[in-house]
Structures are given as C-alpha cells and as structure tokens.
Amino acid sequence: MQIKWGDEHVSTYPADWLRAHRLTAADANNQISTSHFVLPARKHWQADGFPRDTNFSLPSLLKSEEKLQEFLLSMHEYGVALVRDCGTDEGAVKQLAEKVAFLRHTVFGLTWLIRVLPNPNSIAYTTYEAPMHIDLPYMDTPPGILMLHCLSQAPTGGLTYCTDGFHIAEQLRRDDPDTFRVLCDVPVTWSTHGHDSISNMDYYFQADAPVIELDRDGDVKTMRLNQVRSSFLKLDADKVARFYAALHTLSRMSCDARYRAAVRLEPGEMILIDNHRMLHGRSELDAAGAAVRCLSGGYMDWDLVVSRMRSQHKALAK
C-alpha cells in the first residue's frame, strides 16, 4: 500500500508489515510477524522434570551462534541450564558471559569464588546447608541469571538444589489462593549490610518488595525468598501471624522433594539459574568437602541476554 501525503511524501507499507501491525491482540500480532522475536513460553517443572539431559558444552556455545541461541532459549524456558566441558580453571564464567553480553558487576566483584572461609559474611561461605533462596533480593532488580562453575567438588554433600519458584507459586495460586495473595501483597524489607573484603567496600542494601511480585498481566515476575529480611515489618500487628504462616508454607514447598531437584555439579560443569524464577540452595558440607569444594560465580542480566537473543534471531533469519 502506498500513501501520498499532503506534502507529496510517499510512504510504502508492504502487505506483511500491515498484517503484522493490524490493531488486534498483542499475541496475535507476534505470532503472525515472522521477523518479530517471541520468547518461548516458560515450561514449569517439578523435581522429576529438571532438564538434566541437555547437551550444551562450553566450546560449542563459544563456537556456534545457533547453539548459543538454542541454549539461551532453553535457559529461558526452564529457568535453568547445564553447560559441560568448562574446564576447571577460573575464567569460564567470564568467557561465556562475554560471549552472550556482559557480567553484572556487584559489590562482590565481577566474579567471585564460593568456598568455605574463616570469617564468612554469607552462609554461602560456611559448611551449613544453604536454605532455598534467590541471590541479592535486597536490590530493586536482583541479578537475572546466576552462573556457577564447579572448579572442584566435595567427595560427598555440597549438592546444588533448585526449585522452580514460578511453578510452586502457581500451585499456591490454585490450591491456596489466600496464601498466594498474602505473599503478593505484603511488602517485605530485604536488607543486608557488611563489608566485602575483596572489593574492600562497606555496603548497606535495602529494597521493599513482596515475596511474589506480579507483572501487569498478573503473571509471576520475580520471586524473593531469602533470610536477609530486615527486623522491621511494615504490617499491622493482626496480620503478622498470617504473613509468617504464608512464608512458612512457601519455604516448606521450596524444600519439598516433589518440587526440589538436587544436582551434583562435577568439576568442569556450570549451572545457569534464572535468579528471578528459581529458588536455589546447597546441602551441607563435611570437613573433607569444606577443604575441597570451590565454585566460581557471576551474574548476568536478562535485559542484555534477551537483547542478544532478539538480535541473534534477526541475524539467523537472514
């Protein structure tokens, strides 16, 4: 179609463009536009549906744009992805992140090591079982993706736990809507302060957000579960017991064997975890494990990762 405007300017609109831009439901627009990138629908899973059998290796992701795209799409679908053949030297986290986009810098550095430390400022650096949580809930936008590369593993214990937070939230919405509503409505003050010895910086982070945050369509957008809650609760006294009961219900579900997958990372393997969706944790370590286990970690943000997927979709479609 051509339109000749009053100032003689002529605009040309191809038929497929007009069809893709017709005024109708947004989803229909996306489906009929071949050039438009649509993120794949998320596949929620329970413990037995954890995507263990993926076949992604670091060399193949660094070499092939198609493989990298397949990997990123899969990570978005399942909220978690395993990468093999990463070697056992530090550097694989940075290498993969920089192939995709960038690492997210935090007060804890660009990358960091998780091992048992003498003066820990986080449960991650102890031998204790780490309860199910997301990382850095005290930021307005917590990091989107947590990357953990296993450099050396404990002989026993030190399992990585993963629970699909979106799945258990939907279970609650269906089976216990009152609890779901409380977790969506009550603002929690997430807060932590301390000193990071590697960046040599004091920090004091704080953010108010509910445990289950919804987007404007009512879909779950971000889960927040962590021990780093402030001792203040902005809630009327008669509602406090109900809030703690709801938090307890969700915490119990996050550890339930039906929902929680246990993964033993072997040296040379990396796991990527959607930190807005997955709840993760770690089983406790014994003395032998404490002496040996070491993971290298880093973060990426979804904005950059989805931008990469969109650009790549456009490039691969040519």
For the record, the structure tokens of 9 come out as 């300017």
Piece in contact with Fe ion (CB under 5 A), picked from 64-72, 134-142, 155-163, 291-299: 134-142
* Nearest CA-CA partner of 299 in 175, 154, 147, 151: 147
* Whole-angstrom distance, CA of residue 57 vs CA of residue 43: 22
Residue 135 sits in the site that holds Fe ion (CB under 5 A): yes
| Residues 171-230 within binding reach of Fe ion (CB under 5 A) | none
- Whole-Å CA distances, 301 to 72, 275, 310: 12, 9, 15
Piece in contact with Fe ion (CB under 5 A), picked from 132-140, 193-201, 256-264, 293-301: 132-140
Q: Do the Cβ atoms of 238 and 231 come closer than 8 Å?
A: no
Q: Do the Cβ atoms of 114 and 148 come closer than 8 Å?
A: yes
Which of 135, 164 has the CB closer to Fe ion?
135
Question: In angstroms, what is the minimal distance from the CB of 21 to Fe ion?
Answer: 43
**Nearest residue by C-beta to Fe ion?**
135
Which of 77, 135 has the CB closer to Fe ion?
135
Question: In angstroms, what is the minimal distance from the CB of 225 to Fe ion?
Answer: 11
* Whole-angstrom distance, CA of residue 154 vs CA of residue 288: 7
* Whole-angstrom distance, CA of residue 225 vs CA of residue 254: 10
Question: In angstroms, what is the minimal distance from the CB of 222 to Fe ion?
Answer: 15
Question: In angstroms, what is the minimal distance from the CB of 135 to Fe ion?
Answer: 4
Piece in contact with Fe ion (CB under 5 A), picked from 45-53, 129-137, 214-222, 226-234: 129-137
For the record, the structure tokens of 224 come out as 């927040």
- Torsion region of 34: left, alpha or beta (phi above 0 gives left; psi -120 to 50 gives alpha): alpha
* Whole-angstrom distance, CA of residue 145 vs CA of residue 167: 18
Per-residue interface string for the shown chain with Fe ion, residues 145-164, x marking contact by CB under 5 A: --------------------
Per-residue interface string for the shown chain with Fe ion, residues 233-262, x marking contact by CB under 5 A: ------------------------------
Q: Say which residues have a Cβ less than 8 Å from residue 28's Cβ, sequence separation at least 6.
A: none
Which of 60, 122 has the CB closer to Fe ion?
122
Piece in contact with Fe ion (CB under 5 A), picked from 107-115, 133-141, 154-162, 164-172: 133-141
Residue 274 sits in the site that holds Fe ion (CB under 5 A): no
* Whole-angstrom distance, CA of residue 32 vs CA of residue 18: 11
For the record, the structure tokens of 226 come out as 């962590």
Question: In angstroms, what is the minimal distance from the CB of 302 to Fe ion?
Answer: 17
* Whole-angstrom distance, CA of residue 124 vs CA of residue 227: 12
Question: In angstroms, what is the minimal distance from the CB of 138 to Fe ion?
Answer: 13
Which of 151, 309 has the CB closer to Fe ion?
151
Beta bridge partners of 214: 220
Which of 58, 228 has the CB closer to Fe ion?
228
Question: In angstroms, what is the minimal distance from the CB of 98 to Fe ion?
Answer: 22
Give residues in contact with Fe ion (CB under 5 A). Answer: 135
